Chains A and B, each alone.
Chain A
């Protein structure tokens, strides 16, 4: 392992737990069916909720008649916007009503809600609700939506086109003046689809309202109890002190459960019905009502000198955010911020629009704007290499940012390990041999492609408490949600490594907004990195308290003390002298000092864009994170007769700083790769005149086991650095980001066909084969 580049030593863990593939604490209950997800909860008197979706992509609501639904036996509550506070929610722009108010802006948008004694009754009641609409002209394409005469979705918020939810421009250098100095220039338009999360557990909430205090308790499938608490309180006009959120097991999320899903409306139904309500989406309701990844159209032009120095790049991005902004403006920020790629390009001009259309809202999804821009950038860099007659990895190495160099906007790259990732990927994939075209069966062609990947890890606030129990064991509480990625085990291992404890000596609390310290969200490649960091901070404070007691008990100065595995404080060079955490806890609880407890908090320091370097328009929120790097390689076989693409083998090389749990980390990388494979080859929401035509798992194809390569190699580099626990860096989203360009570059290498639109279905590959230049 080329680990010699270690700019600063990271602290070493105590004991052997950190770095082991410790089994996840919830694995046994999951393989035995005992795990409890939200839909498995059932409380006395519980009603069942269901939502009515709009039949039209854009229409004014003229009138409601809910009388027949209310009269149906077994119906306990029927709600429309007239029954809810006239308040809009949204993380970036407050533009989303809980139920459509005044008009509907996409087909499937919830317009009415019912709670009834059982689900069939609730669904029958939906059919009895009569809503009169006046159909309005609609727009389904982001660029068309910016034309002056386009139908307008939302009231204008300021100057600029009312359908532009956000606009960003970033300019460095003088790109217009340097194109003439470029020996090669390539340009193209790239299109990427609205991919959907297809977390296997559809969104679900159980809401209970205490009749005396009015306190709302939500059990819900989410990535953040605290986001749900804040959004539900805001939407319903109640104080956050009257909303409690608990999170049962979560059946996958991938960004789709960052913001509120059906929590506010389920709470409103429970308040109206005076009884607990559980609302679980059918798969089709989930697909039609929730959110997707942003579809994007990207114009990109890149120029380089003969010796392979990239000089200039111009980018215009249109992100289609659908009917509501949701996280769209933040996704657009990341897409713009990564438009230069992990390369030193002195002259750059990036423009980015995040645009409303009459389709399902787009929001957070693993990669958060980066898969789109990486597809354009990494495919284009390959075309540049081709034009220069240069090896694609060599061209990337020549332009890769190194430690200390500046990102677009001026933020420093603190640990520039892209070079190490690319070099390792070249070695492990036997790149040079496989670039020689391998002979295959007649009608089939093999090729290999690469993508360089960068992402950001961090974002927003986290906190933790660490408390010594009376018997010397330790309880850690963070509020972080494990959506399946394994953060519970990884964070427990971080605490184990910080205090030298075994897994059995640690209790990791489940998230509960009544008792857990704040965590923003399990998203943004941040949980191990940011929550892990606050755990190490709190553990360090606990260590200081432990040593103060141990010093008194052992009659030795603090500076001679050390932590010893298993829950002991010992004296350096005195192997026989130690005191247990239990003895210290007893002294603290009953003799002197009080309970040993510590809390810590962290917010990745915001980077202010350097306006002397970069002309900036837009970008209200940026740079709150640590840059992380990877390189992904795919070998494919293309059937020239059918256009079918099979991924034969793949390598995903990641600098993760330090491996906390190898099995969990590799699982993140492999799972991310396969979601990226779906994005590359099959996954796409398709609309016809604003109607989603494939809102089922039969018609929307996620990869099955037979679609993925047998050999999918997760290669982990450890170059510990930065604020994460023991030098660990985030990895959660990264495995998805470069897969599509690596595969499309491999298709190009195999056949000469250039796919510019994802997914690279057989039909699109065939067309590209026919258009070969």
Chain B
């Protein structure tokens, strides 16, 4: 067994004091220690995007990130996207367009789309597709997902 490290992670603006083995991934720590289970485990090797979180506002695959490397960095999970009772515009659009099927990919897709819209408030369909290139959805065929996200920026 490896030695443990005591660190503090900043998750959705809250400080979490944790004692962790250095080999533990951010995904494991979020799901098991913080119980922020909205971050999904789909492949454990960075191929599906279901575990996407934001670190300092940029998308990161939490299954490939070691938690002990991230103290002091602002980590945003799907639980931190919603602000009060209102859904984020991306979330609203996905619901309204009927883009959600099994939902297992949605946490990652919402976060990837949120970053895209912050950087590019009115993305084209092609720019939306590029931004979702790391997120697998096995149910929807992507059509409605892309339409929904593109609609947020006002492009059809």
Contacts and interface: CB of A to CB of B under 8 A. Distances in A.
A33 B78 contact: yes
Interface centre among B41, B102, B103, B132 (most CB of A within 10 A): B102
Interface stretch (B54-62, B66-74, B105-113): B105-113
A175 to B, nearest CB: 39
Contact of A705 (B43, B79, B97, B135): B135
A705 B135 CA distance: 8
A667 B144 contact: yes
B50 interface: yes
A705 B133 contact: yes
A45 to B, nearest CB: 15
A708 B44 contact: no
B26 interface: no
A157 to B, nearest CB: 36
Interface string A478-500: 00000111100000000000000
A696 B91 contact: no
B144 A31 contact: no
A706 B100 CA distance: 19
Contact of A484 (B48, B81, B102): B102
A708 B126 CA distance: 12
Contacts of A714: 143
B101 A667 contact: yes
A667 B139 CA distance: 8
Interface string A682-717: 000000000000001110001011101010101000
B95 interface: yes
B11 interface: no
Nearest to B78: A33
Contact of A697 (B45, B79, B133): B45
B47 interface: yes
A199 interface: yes
Interface in A648-694: 661, 663-664, 666-667, 670-675
Contacts of A705: 129, 132-133, 135, 137, 142, 145-146
B87 A28 contact: yes
Contacts of B101: 252, 484-486, 667, 671
B129 A27 contact: no
B29 interface: no
A251 B104 contact: yes
Contacts of B140: 667, 670-671, 674
Interface bin, chain A: 35 or more
A661 B100 CA distance: 13
Nearest to B130: A706
B154 to A, nearest CB: 18
Contact of B87 (A31, A39, A663): A31
Given A32-B81, A698-B45, A26 B103 contact: yes
B138 A706 contact: no
A251 B141 CA distance: 15
Contact of A252 (B36, B134, B138, B141): B138
Given A21-B98, A486-B101, A667-B101, A706 B45 contact: no
B82 interface: yes
A137 interface: no
Contacts of B79: 32-33
Contacts of A35: 38, 103
A770 interface: no
A40 interface: yes
Contacts of A340: none
Give the interface centre of A31, A250, A283, A485 by most chain B CB atoms within 10 Å: A31
Contacts of A30: 100, 102-103, 106
Contact of A671 (B50, B90, B139): B139
A670 B144 CA distance: 9
B133 A200 contact: no
B9 interface: no
Contact of B91 (A32, A198, A200, A698): A32
Given A484-B101, A671-B101, A23 B138 contact: no
Contacts of A198: 138
Contact of B144 (A29, A201, A666, A675): A666
A433 interface: no
Interface string A32-65: 1111110110100000000000000000000000
Q: Which of A21, A483, A705, A706 has the most CB of B within 10 A?
A: A705
A708 B31 CA distance: 32
Contacts of A252: 101-102, 104, 138-139
Interface in A250-264: 250-254
B42 interface: yes
Contacts of B146: 705, 710
B151 to A, nearest CB: 13
A31 B40 contact: no
Most buried by A among B36, B107, B141: B141
A32 B87 contact: yes
Contacts of A31: 87, 90-91, 94-95, 100, 103, 106, 110
B98 A712 contact: no
B36 to A, nearest CB: 8
Interface in B14-69: 31, 35-48, 50
Contacts of B95: 23-24, 27-28, 31
A356 B30 CA distance: 43
B129 A24 contact: no
B117 interface: no
Given A33-B107, A706-B133, A283 B45 contact: yes
Contacts of B91: 28, 31-32
B155 to A, nearest CB: 13
B141 A674 contact: yes
Interface string A255-281: 000000000000000000000000010
B43 A201 contact: no
Contacts of B100: 24, 26-27, 30-31
B104 A667 contact: no
Nearest to A280: B41
B102 A199 contact: yes
B115 interface: no
Nearest to A676: B141
A249 interface: yes
A132 interface: no
Contact of A249 (B42, B103, B125): B103
Contacts of B145: 705
A704 B133 contact: yes
Contacts of A672: 141
A712 B141 contact: yes
A697 B42 contact: yes
A202 B104 CA distance: 10
Nearest to A24: B100
Contact of A670 (B96, B129, B141): B141
Interface in A194-230: 198-202
Contacts of A608: none
A282 interface: yes
B116 interface: no
B75 interface: no
A250 B36 CA distance: 18
Contacts of B98: 21, 23-24, 27, 486, 661, 663-664, 666-667
15 contacts: A24-B95, A27-B100, A28-B87, A29-B103, A33-B107, A199-B102, A200-B137, A252-B139, A282-B44, A283-B44, A667-B140, A667-B141, A671-B101, A675-B138, A704-B133
Given A280-B41, A667-B143, A671-B138, 4 more contacts: A33-B38, A36-B37, A670-B143, A696-B45
Interface of B: 31, 35-48, 50, 77-79, 81-82, 87, 90-91, 94-107, 110, 125-126, 129-130, 132-146
